[in-house]
Amino acid sequence: MFTRCTTATIFGIEALPVIAEVFKGGGLPGIHLVGLARGAMRESLPRITSAVTGSGLALSKERTIVSLLPAELPKTASALDLAVVIGLLKVYGALADASLEGRMFYGELSLSGALQSVRGALMVADLAKRRGDRELVLAAANADEASHITGIDIIGARNLSDVVAHLTGKTVIAPHIRAPRSHVTRRGPCLSEVYGQPRAKRALEIAAAGGHNMLMIGPPGSGKTMLARRLPTIMPPLTPEEQIESMRIRSAVGDFDTAYDARPFRAPHHTASDVALCGGGSPPRPGEVSLAHCGVLFLDELPEFSRRALEALREPLEDGVIHVSRAAIAVIYPARSLLIAAMNPCPCGHYSDATSASSRPCLCGLDVVQRYRSRVSGPLLDRIDLHVTVDAVPYRELTRRDGAAESSSVVRGRVEAARVRQTTRLGNGRCNAMMGQPDIEAHVQLDTEVVRLLEQAIERHGLSTRAVTRALKVARTIADLAGAADVDIGHVREALGFRVLDRQPLAEELAA
């Protein structure tokens, strides 16, 4: 007696098909599991046995072999349980008349036979649909997630007995219908709630419009976190493709919230490990930088992150993806997010250069300030187009309610218009931050006046050519926000103003 039952395993942000083959007959009694079952799956036999008897069904004493194919695929998830049990019940006769054709099973069983919520339901539903299956049977708790994929019946069951009743036709479970979304609009944070800070708000708008990574430098309590949280609210809405990609990543970690149409915002703590930040582990899981995919990754207290963690960020910031490999498994996760970082100007938080007035004096020596800032120098800083100083807001600004502050939706309107100009010019949905040298040469024409300004910046402030390249991309975005066809000296001057860390007031003061 032989049967096969289809299930799936999660690999990165893809579900791959797994076939549970069950063969009964000959030899010593007992159930034997073969086919590279790892981790939780290795302990599945006692669990499966208990779940079946707990559901009032019986397993045969005859020799039975369960093989999970393809054998070379590592199968770590216990979500294969359900398919194995259904296969066993089929060869033992309890499901003799039920058809397993065109059906996929995905679920972990508890000892009593209840179906547990598992990660990856969305990806499995997508796989089942692409394979041409008509039905996916899984835990009721995962049905809503899976039903984002249309064109396949999602059967949400509470326990094994329900699945058996469904398959034998005794009590058929109707396909899950996703609850209509509430029409109450989510009241997210709004830019109008931030008082003062015109420069920082301007930088946010430029960052959102051109996809530029950004660093805020300011004393504690100046509202850096408040500003960062509002960045997703001024970015264009997710495209349908971005929505699905973002959902897949959340599905892969089993953190599937209902706000799937909002841009993600992730703010890992500075003690986060490189694995937590960039992904890894066994089985591999996506890290914060992938959970922020299509959204915003906020790193507060940037100099406090470990060097190892910051090093690991280079690949995703450069390529928009991250390779995670552990033992024989190599997985690629998407990781294209907008980075917004924040730091104090010095360890005590109150250092200020001549251009900003801080309410309290700085207690750090200049060499200490220099050392603190140098922790974020180098390759990471090279990926950040905008640096902006955020000053402590005077009390009267904080209490002023003039109603003149722009809302996120007004700013988002300008951002979207600027994005349209960029994608029309650059193609492939690219924005200005992704421009290479040829793009810059083609789309940022400089007159002699601008060239002279750039030469001055290089000579007087020690700006590197890389820094100038970044400033030119930002200038292009500023021109796009203004609806200007060409970049002029005003755009370049404003862009150069966002290179705070490149100018070397510290070095000059140290020399004085």
By CB under 5 A, name the binding residues for Zn ion.
346, 348, 351, 362, 364
Q: Which two tokens stand for residue 133?
A: 């299956």
Nearer to Zn ion, 84 or 390 (CB): 390
- In the bound state with Zn ion, the residue whose beta carbon lies nearer, of 68 and 362, is 362
CB of 392 to Zn ion, least distance (A): 13
Q: Is the CB of 59 or the CB of 348 nearer to Zn ion?
A: 348
Q: Which of 101, 92, 97, 22 is nearest to 62 (CA)?
A: 92
CB 250 to Zn ion: min, Å: 40
- Residue 478 CA to residue 499 CA, distance in Å, equals 15
Pure H helices in 147-291: 160-168, 198-210, 224-229, 240-252, 274-278, 288-291
Distance CA 163, CA 206 (A): 54
CB of 349 to Zn ion, least distance (A): 6
Shortest reach from residue 368's CB to Zn ion, in Å: 7
For residue 178, give the DSSP letter.
P
Report, in Å, the least distance between residue 347 CB and Zn ion. Answer: 6
Nearer to Zn ion, 348 or 484 (CB): 348
Q: Single out the residue of 76, 86, 3 nearest to residue 36, CA to CA.
A: 76
**How far, CA to CA in Å, does 50 sit from each of 23, 37, 53, 379, 390?**
20, 19, 5, 55, 61
Cα-based angle 446, 449, 452 (whole degrees, multiple of 5) = 95
Bond preceding residue 70 cis, omega within 30 of 0: yes
Q: Which is nearer to Zn ion, 103 or 350 (CB)?
A: 350
CA angle 451, 456, 460 (to 5 degrees): 160
Distance, in Å, from the CA atom of 143 to the CA atom of 125, rounded to the nearest integer, reads 10
Please report how close the Cβ of residue 309 comes to Zn ion at its closest, in angstroms.
Answer: 24
Pick the closer one to Zn ion by CB: 219 or 497.
219
Nearer to Zn ion, 82 or 362 (CB): 362
Min separation Cβ 253 and Zn ion, Å: 39
Smallest distance from Zn ion to CB 500, Å: 16
Q: Give the count of beta carbons closer than 10 Å to the beta carbon of residue 275.
A: 17
Tokens of residue 73, six digits: 């695929």
H or E element that contains 162: helix 160-168
> Which residue lies nearer to Zn ion by CB, 486 or 509?
509
For residue 231, the surrounding DSSP H or E stretch is none
Output the smallest distance, CB 358 to Zn ion, in A. 9
Of 159 and 344, nearer to Zn ion (C-beta) is: 344
Give the burial string for 406-426 (b: 16+ CB within 10 Å, else e). bebeebbebbeebbebbeebb
Rg (CA), the chain: 28
